[in-house]
Amino acid sequence: MSETLASGAWQTDPTGMLAQRCSVMAGEQPPNPELTTEVLWCVKARGDWLAGVISPAFVRVFLLPGGGELWGDIPLGQQRYLALGNMDWRFAAAQDVVLGDYQYVDLVEPASRVLGMSAARLLVGDARVALGLGAHAATLGDEPRQPVSRRGFLRALSGRR
């Protein structure tokens, strides 16, 4: 395990390790050849780590333990709801040999529905705003963004803007 993973909690930014592991994680759905692995953002929120990740197999928000208040242990494969931003997010529990325990939300399923990296980046950027983490300039451009409503986020998931 990484030296940054101590007692099951990430002490430093897990972006590099997350990018490395997500590039090898295989999903149950066929991969989307239009997507490449990219960690768009990774922030410490209330003591734990939230990250927006694109890969050929998935487009997800990851929750990694950092010793904070967002993390809650649940059995592998089980789900829990976590109120973040202006909505409840359904996180599923998983485990990786390097990352350890983590939880995730699929932003779109299957990944083959995403029309390319630009669309995936917009989706992950909107998720960051909906989570209440603010805009990410590299993802969202320089123009100011309005807060995303639950309806607006769900419309983006369905491909409508």
Query: What angle in degrees, to the nearest 10, is found between the helix axes of 117-130 and 150-157?
Result: 160
Residues of the chain with pLDDT under 70: 1-7, 26-29, 136-161
Dihedral angle computed from the Cα positions of residues 122, 124, 129 and 133, in that order, rounded to the nearest 10 degrees:
-140
Amino acid at 45: A
CA 33 to chain CA centroid, nearest Å: 20
Per-residue pLDDT tens over the stretch 62-80? 999 999 999 999 999 999 9
Q: Give me the residue label for tokens 């994680």.
A: 25
For 30, half-sphere exposure in the C-beta direction (CA atoms, 13 angstrom radius) is 5
Question: pTM score, two decimals?
Answer: 0.80
Q: Which domains does the chain have, with CATH numbers?
A: 5-157 (3.30.1460.40)
Q: Identify the pLDDT of residue 24.
A: 83
Q: What confidence score (pLDDT) does residue 89 get?
A: 96
Reference 38, options 57, 19, 25, 58; nearest CA is: 19
